[in-house]
Structure 1
Amino acid sequence: MFSKDTYLQRRNRLKKEVGNGLIVLLGNEESSMNFKDNWYHFRQDSTFLYFCAVSLPSLTAILDCDSGVDCIYGDELTIDDIIWTGPQPTIASLAEKSGITQTAPTSQVEKQIKKAISDGRSVHFIPPYREEHVTKLSAWTGKPLSEIRSGESVTLIKAIIAQRNIKTSEEIVELHKAVDLTAAMHLSAMQYTKPGMKEAEIAAKVNQVALAADGQLSFPIILTKDGQTLHNHYHGNIVQAGDMILCDAGAEIHSGYAGDMTRTFPVSAQFTETQRELYQIVLNAHETAIAALKPGVQYKDIHLKACTKLTEGLIEVGLMKGNAEEAVTAGAHTMFFQCGLGHLLGMDVHDMENLGEQYIGYSDTLKKSTEFGLKSLRLGKELEAGFVITVEPGIYIIPELIDRWKAEKKHEDFLNYSKLESYKSFGGIRIEEDFVITQNGADLLGTPVAKTVADVETIRKQSLEQ
């Protein structure tokens, strides 16, 4: 965690921007896998962690904008708990480290909230993403369960985003650590893979690197030879010479900050000629997007610039035809690139996405598109210095999409369906890196990992010779 002053400043700014009433921040509960006492790894709510720094289950923080008092509510461990967990720091001692000097039992939360409501004061909370949060808020506010999800405070949401969007220098240090570990995970996958292995063996190696460094995964590992499936968590295939591996994985470190990176590499020592062609097209789009990163530019425009570069390459190899800019305007490129160029990154791998994508990735003047492809662009708004983002263009050749669009004769002026037929078993390619937006451009986070064709093939050749 950071210094006490950091958390005091964060909370004081939040209370000032919200203005009045109570701010209620719910921590997460333990979550059971298949019976009550068999828990998933505990992960504290990121907003709670950002403002209060205490990573214990079953806590609630109430920040009083009018009196200025902050209090964490929770129940100390009983002797029955301690038998299982061993002695632990008290809630009060942990709260004090972030400058919160008042704590109280959980039973007092409802009393505080209902008193505020009876006094005509506002009670601000963010959109609940867990059902237990909905249940608690309903009990505490007296509102029906059906009204809780639409009762969030937009004022609070925007105030949180305004702070968490701009990463401070101490946060950037933590993000570098998270992406350094993420880079090590990806290098291990490139070095470890051998023909005849199961995808699960390689994924286990990636996970091992995170765990051995006392880290966690920031999301379930995507490691597959079937990279055309965007979020493919199946690890049951055997990889063979001639296949490509798409590995999308990230580490989360103790402070809660995350990395997110993707590399695509051949199982053999070299890409095939077709793989090399399409890989270079993705890399060119990736570098085009990186060169455009700077404050004041809408990320939607950078996304479209990358799409145009991607389309130019696809025209060169004969999979598309016509004018690249016209093809992108028509949406024909989404045959190959169905998702968005990237997203915000921070304490969440999709930072603050639980607060609402329209607020996080867009603005009052820029609304999210409903068009195929653009509707999956999580970040479209103008970039600012201090934003941390991913850049991850790709080519995904999806047989089912080819068949559907071909039957509909969709975008025939731009798509070469006859050539596409021979690519149906190709798979997918994605290249992803993480950047912090600076005053004049952007800086790469973490240790660079091989991404040119030559560098990737050098690693693969060395690994197969060992």
Structure 2
Amino acid sequence: MADTTPRATSNRSTTPGSSTFKDYIGSQWAERERPLPEPREQAAHAAARRAGISELHPGRTIVVPAGQAKVRSNDCDYPFRPHSAFAHLTGWGSETVVGSVLVMTPNGSGHDTTLYFRATAGRDSEEFYANPEIGEFWVGPRPSLAEVAADLGVATADLGDLDAVVDGLDATVLVVRDADTDLTRSFDERLGSAVGGAPEQDGAPATDDVLARDLSELRLVKDAYEVHELRQAVAATKAGFDDVIADFDAVLAHPRGERIVEGTFNRRARADGNTVGYDTIAASGHHACILHWTRNDGAVQPGDLILIDAGVEVDSYYTADITRTLPVSGTFTEVQRMVYEAVLEAADAAFAIVKPGITFRQVHATAMEVIARKTAEWGFLPGTADESLQPENQFHRRYMVHGTSHHLGLDVHDCAKARREMYIDGVVQPGMVFTIEPGLYFQQDDLTVPEEFRGIGVRIEDDILVTEDGAENLSIGIPRTPSEVEGWIARSGR
């Protein structure tokens, strides 16, 4: 298997190495007496998800790694986040131990599941005090095998036992290849070819790509626990927006006020959740016309709009994804309001059609009809709205080149490896959660629009749950109409 030995720091280590020190630091520790936890709420949901993927791949061993920490610089890593498929199938969340691997082994009627991870080190080992990457003195204690087994309701084994399991595998094993590239490479080397490449067996799909697809499609419809977590993420995100508005004086006073917005929101994300679900976009003035503006190094000026696209990721890793566009001075100008109301009309029209049985692409098409009609009414298009909506024209897309919706869940752009016929051409079902986020963006040097429109960017984004007979806007409590937004800012004391 791949070498998982931590990166050495021997060239600057001052840890004593004498046997006398080792004996001393390994002695006189109190016994740990921690009662085993009850299974967490998501354990049953995770078991159902594993059953779903088991049914799709009978007779095949399935390996889903959590992954390794990613290097930020030298021996400093980014905060660890396991692969979303691993989180979905285990329910472990932010406590996940780096390098863990979920293995589902066929048993004739389904699969037996074992979670392999590096258990807590004994006080008689050097690891717990001398290893700065995984040692208890450095990063805190890891849970025991028994604790995790009780917590997640799944069999556990030490990561060191995985070697023997791999030795017994053949090329029919299926692996989530992008979760841990070193582990996947070691599988390939041991088995003599790319794993997951054997012919179909008992009707089971044969490739790792199909496994990745199926794991993605498994997340298209959310269970009750996932919906609850998304509600929590939206609530924390609302609090983050409230914090930003309350901090507007500091935002305006700083030459890089966009970063004050980012920092204020991120503080809430860390306080009420795990972190942000994606890099916060705090785009003031003409920066709002740059769709993924995350440099956030600009000033926030009175009279401008600021577009804030942000979401809190809770400890289970489910994330919100909300955008609000706010008038920095507290009220919209006439032109700003005109653009804002057009975007709001597009969002409301898209939401109005959401119900089980429509196709996902209809949401985008409905929003685009409004965008085409508005930009045609304003005289920005070289033709009528109907002409622009023809596939060969699409003039209105100059002002909104992105899509209107994407699925939401463990990833901000969830279910990304689902088939097109299951995603954009898929039928909307109860339990699906996706965004509706139309926008209008008039670049500061766009000569097709009057000067007073240039540099205005507006997006309104909400998180939508499909219900049995329609839809619920999970983020409706975050002000979104022009009057609501102005009142929101006024209530902050500005």
Q: When the two structures are superposed, what TM-score results if normalisation uses the length of structure 1?
A: 0.84
Partner of 1:69, secondary structure, is: strand
Find the counterpart in structure 2 of residue 9 from structure 1.
48
Shift of 1:130: 5.7
Structure 1 residues 309 and 77: CA distance shift in structure 2, 3 A: same
Partner of 2:306, secondary structure, is: strand
CA contact (8 A) 2:276 2:312 kept: yes
**Number of matched pairs:** 423
**Could you tell me which of 94, 115, 130 is aligned with 1:72?**
115
Find the counterpart in structure 2 of residue 124 from structure 1.
174
**Could you tell me which of 336, 343, 346 is aligned with 1:282?**
343
Identical columns (%): 25
**Could you tell me which of 185, 209, 229 is aligned with 1:135?**
185
Hey, what's the Cα distance between the residues in 2 that align with 1:190 and 1:310?
A: 28
Say whether 1:393 aligns with 2:393.
Answer: no
CA contact (8 A) 1:215 1:254 kept: yes
Shift of 1:169: 1.6
**Could you tell me which of 329, 333, 339 is aligned with 1:272?**
333
Say whether 1:332 aligns with 2:386.
Answer: no
Say whether 1:19 aligns with 2:58.
Answer: yes
**Could you tell me which of 208, 214, 232 is aligned with 1:153?**
208
The C-alpha deviation readout for 1:426-447, integer Å capped at 9, x for no partner, is 2311100001111111112146
Structure 1 residues 248 and 51: CA distance shift in structure 2, 3 A: same
The C-alpha deviation readout for 1:360-410, integer Å capped at 9, x for no partner, is 5x217xxxxxxxxxxxxx84432111111000000112357x47xxxxxxx
Hey, what's the Cα distance between the residues in 1 that align with 2:149 and 2:78?
A: 24
Find the counterpart in structure 2 of residue 63 from structure 1.
104
Partner of 1:164, secondary structure, is: coil
CA contact (8 A) 1:244 1:264 kept: yes
Hey, what's the Cα distance between the residues in 2 that align with 1:240 and 1:464?
A: 18
Shift of 1:268: 0.9
Find the counterpart in structure 1 of residue 407 from structure 2.
344
Hey, what's the Cα distance between the residues in 2 that align with 1:109 and 1:275?
A: 60
Shift of 1:294: 1.0
The C-alpha deviation readout for 1:215-246, integer Å capped at 9, x for no partner, is 31001110011111001012221111111100
Shift of 1:137: 4.2
* Correspondences of 1:300-379 after superposition (within 5 Å): 300-320=361-381, 322-329=383-390, 330-353=393-416, 356=417, 359=418, 362-363=420-421, 379=424
Hey, what's the Cα distance between the residues in 2 that align with 1:90 and 1:458?
A: 52
Unaligned 5+ runs, structure 2: 1-39, 122-127, 130-134, 199-205
Hey, what's the Cα distance between the residues in 2 that align with 1:176 and 1:30?
A: 29
Hey, what's the Cα distance between the residues in 2 that align with 1:3 and 1:60?
A: 18
Find the counterpart in structure 2 of residue 87 from structure 1.
141
Q: Which of 5-14 and 269-278 deviates more? A: 5-14
**Could you tell me which of 149, 155, 170 is aligned with 1:101?**
155
**Could you tell me which of 249, 262, 271 is aligned with 2:310?**
249
Say whether 1:32 aligns with 2:87.
Answer: no
The amino acid across from 1:93 in the alignment is: E
Structure 1 residues 320 and 460: CA distance shift in structure 2, 3 A: farther
The C-alpha deviation readout for 1:120-147, integer Å capped at 9, x for no partner, is x6211235166445534434543369x9
Structure number with the bigger relative contact order (C-alpha 8 A, sep ≥ 6) is 1
Hey, what's the Cα distance between the residues in 2 that align with 1:131 and 1:5?
A: 29
CA contact (8 A) 1:110 1:140 kept: no
Partner of 1:257, secondary structure, is: coil
- Root mean square deviation, CA, Å: 2.5
Shift of 1:6: 2.8
Structure 1 residues 158 and 200: CA distance shift in structure 2, 3 A: closer
Unaligned 5+ runs, structure 1: 365-377, 404-416
Structure 1 residues 5 and 457: CA distance shift in structure 2, 3 A: closer
CA contact (8 A) 2:282 2:306 kept: yes
CA contact (8 A) 1:191 1:459 kept: no
Find the counterpart in structure 2 of residue 183 from structure 1.
238
Partner of 1:248, secondary structure, is: strand
Hey, what's the Cα distance between the residues in 1 that align with 2:72 and 2:466?
A: 39
Find the counterpart in structure 1 of residue 10 from structure 2.
none
The amino acid across from 2:173 in the alignment is: V
Find the counterpart in structure 1 of residue 283 from structure 2.
224
Partner of 2:325, secondary structure, is: strand
Structure 1 residues 86 and 239: CA distance shift in structure 2, 3 A: closer
The C-alpha deviation readout for 1:311-356, integer Å capped at 9, x for no partner, is 2112222323533132122211111010000110111111132xx2
Q: Which of 338-347 and 437-446 deviates more? A: 437-446
Partner of 2:298, secondary structure, is: coil
Hey, what's the Cα distance between the residues in 2 that align with 1:8 and 1:220?
A: 31
Hey, what's the Cα distance between the residues in 2 that align with 1:463 and 1:287?
A: 27
Hey, what's the Cα distance between the residues in 1 that align with 2:245 and 2:478?
A: 10
Say whether 1:429 aligns with 2:458.
Answer: yes
Hey, what's the Cα distance between the residues in 2 that align with 1:310 and 1:133?
A: 48
Shift of 1:114: 4.4
Find the counterpart in structure 2 of residue 53 from structure 1.
91
Query: Rg bigger for which structure?
Result: 2
Hey, what's the Cα distance between the residues in 2 that align with 1:105 and 1:326?
A: 61
Hey, what's the Cα distance between the residues in 2 that align with 1:424 and 1:111?
A: 65
